[in-house]
Amino acid sequence: MEICQVWFNEDERAVGIVIYRRCFHPLAKIPGPFLPSVTTFYQTYYSGQYYKEIGRLHEQYGPVVRITPYEIHLSDPENYDRIYHMGTKFWKSPTFYGSFCIPHSTFATPSNEVHKHKRAMLNPIFSRKMVLKLERVVQSKANKLIKLMETGIRNRKPVDLHHAFRSVSVDVITDYAFDKSFDLLDSPDLGSKFFTMVRGVGPAMWILQQFEILQDLALKIPLWLAPILSEPLGHVVGLQMEGVKQIQDVRARMEAGKLGSSRPTIFSELLDPEKNYGKPIPSTMELKDEVHSLLAAAADTTGNAMITAAYHVISDWNTYQKVKAELIEAFPSSSSALDFVTLEKLAYLTGIVKEALRLSFGVVGRLPRVTPEPGASFNGYYIPPGTIVGMSSWMMHRNEKIFPDAMKFKPERWLDPADSRRLEKHMVPFGRGTRQSYCELYVTLGTLFRRFDSLRVFQAKPEDLFAFGTFTLAEASRTELLALLKRN
């Protein structure tokens, strides 16, 4: 009898929660279906594909949708800068960003003040002046890529540009970060094992987001035990331990005065007492989170953009010839180095780069923020303080009112300066590191298209470019490109 009474009380409590969340909660008037308004298991059901369901909900319910009991999602592009602008009072959702298990990274830091401090330390490294100074690093990686292509031509074998482009990005960022590149481009598998580890982080992130109680537990699990308990958790720990190794190496070289060059690096700056504005120097275990964030971003966003550009240009002979003609005019000699300053002034190549960034989507999932006091209003709906609110590039970049024929790769849409300025307002491919990323995109893609007259896609289809994972693009199934024998 006592057991039945307990069961009945629990049942009553569950019914009460459902009624409150649906009818009396501060978000009760926000449009949306019944289930996501009363339980987070609605998003759990969709796993890492919830962004697609959110898109469908917006089509049905409008620009403001309740997607969990405590969270709303917005689709009106005019709201983006209100939430994400520099100096915003909206702060990162601890539940969501805590799921990455990198609490000390700039990316996952909820506090706006702490984030501002970390950004201030890193901004000089990503300044235009520093990017131009370090362009030679990007040039060296682009030249390695060209050698890979030439080897493919000689041997009549397809070149796996899916991993090659990602290796370019990781090799560049590790040179910037540690003055010691990972040199994935030199490995026989083009870093495939490394990228398997990076991709394995996604499932762990999704599980930890759904079950917040596990986040603190995951951070306390002994490092040796993590891969035994869970393969995804093992990937998280593996990437973090790579960070520990790299930070320890930078510390040792700094103490011995043996850094490879006189230029500053990301982590030599973070370890410099004079650059910490009187704050304690971060520990190795804290800085490993920053390494994790940088490596994961390099492995996904910029690499995705390069493969998107290469696929669409090589698949369309007209586009290929247009950019080829523009590059030949700017660089008559096919063997000359293609400098970033000249490349970024080329209108058609710029259109290709921007379309690649738009259609590679960077982070497809939402980036949730917490609404500050005294609350906010979006599209006629008042949102109380403490409400989680978010938007995504997936919806911004597919908006037909801003980008007609949004899923078509159309560099021409960027050629008119007035149109370009208007469209640029709604481009949100990535945040920190954009200057360095643009340098990679222009130099790598420009060099590839200039050096080879005729490339063709090998056993890849358009849908391979949109194999999305939990948070960013997952590995496309067979995105390989074959260099034909015809060369300059």
pTM of structure:
0.85
What average pLDDT does this structure show over 2-27? Answer: 74
pLDDT score for 207 = 64
pLDDT at residue 324 greater than cutoff 90: yes
The highest-confidence range among 104-108, 402-406, 428-432, by mean pLDDT, is 402-406
- pLDDT confidence of 488, banded at 50, 70, 90? very low
In this structure, of 8-12, 94-98, 244-248, the range with the lowest mean pLDDT score is 8-12
pLDDT score for 303 = 85
pLDDT tens digits, one per residue of 375-384: 999 999 999 9
Amino acid at the residue 478: R
Query: Taking a C-beta distance cutoff of 8 angstroms, is the pair 191, 182 a contact?
Result: yes
Helix axes 201-210, 192-199, angle to 10 degrees: 10
pLDDT score for 100 = 75
pLDDT at residue 404 greater than cutoff 80: yes
Distance CA(292)–CA(373), nearest Å, equals 32
Of residues 179 and 313, more confidently modeled:
313
Query: Taking a C-beta distance cutoff of 8 angstroms, is the pair 122, 266 a contact?
Result: yes
Query: Taking a C-beta distance cutoff of 8 angstroms, is the pair 290, 270 a contact?
Result: yes
Distance CA(217)–CA(200), nearest Å, equals 19
pLDDT at residue 228 greater than cutoff 70: no
Distance CA(95)–CA(186), nearest Å, equals 39
- pLDDT confidence of 468, banded at 50, 70, 90? very low
What average pLDDT does this structure show over 88-111? Answer: 82
Kindly compute the dihedral angle of the four CA atoms of residues 90, 91, 94, 97, in this order, to the nearest 10 degrees.
Answer: 100
Contacts of 399 (CB under 8 A, 6+ apart): 75, 77, 406, 426
pLDDT tens digits, one per residue of 332-364: 998 888 999 999 999 999 999 999 999 987 677
- pLDDT confidence of 184, banded at 50, 70, 90? very high
User: What is the share, in percent, of the chain residues with pLDDT greater than 70?
Assistant: 80
- pLDDT confidence of 287, banded at 50, 70, 90? confident
**Bridge partners of residue 315, in order along the sequence:** none
pLDDT at residue 451 greater than cutoff 90: yes
Query: Taking a C-beta distance cutoff of 8 angstroms, is the pair 232, 201 a contact?
Result: yes
Q: Cis link prior to 374 (omega < 30° from 0)?
A: yes
How many C-beta neighbours within 10 Å does residue 6 have? 10
What are the distances in angstroms from CA 366 to CA 135, 140, 295, 301, 393?
32, 35, 20, 15, 8
pLDDT score for 471 = 38
pLDDT score for 406 = 95
Set out the domains of the chain in order of their start, with CATH numbers.
1-93+373-396 (no CATH), 100-361+397-483 (1.10.630.10)
pLDDT score for 10 = 63
Of residues 465 and 322, more confidently modeled:
322
What average pLDDT does this structure show over 291-314? Answer: 85
pLDDT tens digits, one per residue of 203-213: 556 666 666 66
Of residues 469 and 113, more confidently modeled:
113
Query: Taking a C-beta distance cutoff of 8 angstroms, is the pair 408, 418 a contact?
Result: no
Quick one: which of 270, 211, 218 has its CA closest to 246? 270
pLDDT at residue 32 greater than cutoff 80: yes
pLDDT score for 342 = 97
What average pLDDT does this structure show over 374-394? Answer: 95
What average pLDDT does this structure show over 363-390? Answer: 93
Quick one: which of 164, 139, 162 has its CA closest to 151? 164
Return phi, psi of residue 67, to 5°: -110, -15
What average pLDDT does this structure show over 118-131? Answer: 79
pLDDT score for 204 = 58
What average pLDDT does this structure show over 426-433? Answer: 68
Query: Taking a C-beta distance cutoff of 8 angstroms, is the pair 235, 201 a contact?
Result: yes
pLDDT tens digits, one per residue of 57-85: 999 999 999 999 999 999 999 999 999 98
Distance CA(124)–CA(113), nearest Å, equals 18
Distance CA(92)–CA(96), nearest Å, equals 8
pLDDT tens digits, one per residue of 8-20: 466 678 888 999 9
Distance CA(381)–CA(387), nearest Å, equals 12
CA 433 distance to own-chain centroid: 11
End-to-end Cα, the chain, rounded Å: 87
**Bridge partners of residue 388, in order along the sequence:** 71, 370
pLDDT at residue 221 greater than cutoff 50: yes
What are the distances in angstroms from CA 38 to CA 2, 25, 68, 70, 192?
29, 10, 7, 9, 42
User: Mean pLDDT of all residues in the chain?
Assistant: 82
User: What is the share, in percent, of the chain residues with pLDDT greater than 90?
Assistant: 42
How many C-beta neighbours within 10 Å does residue 384 have? 13
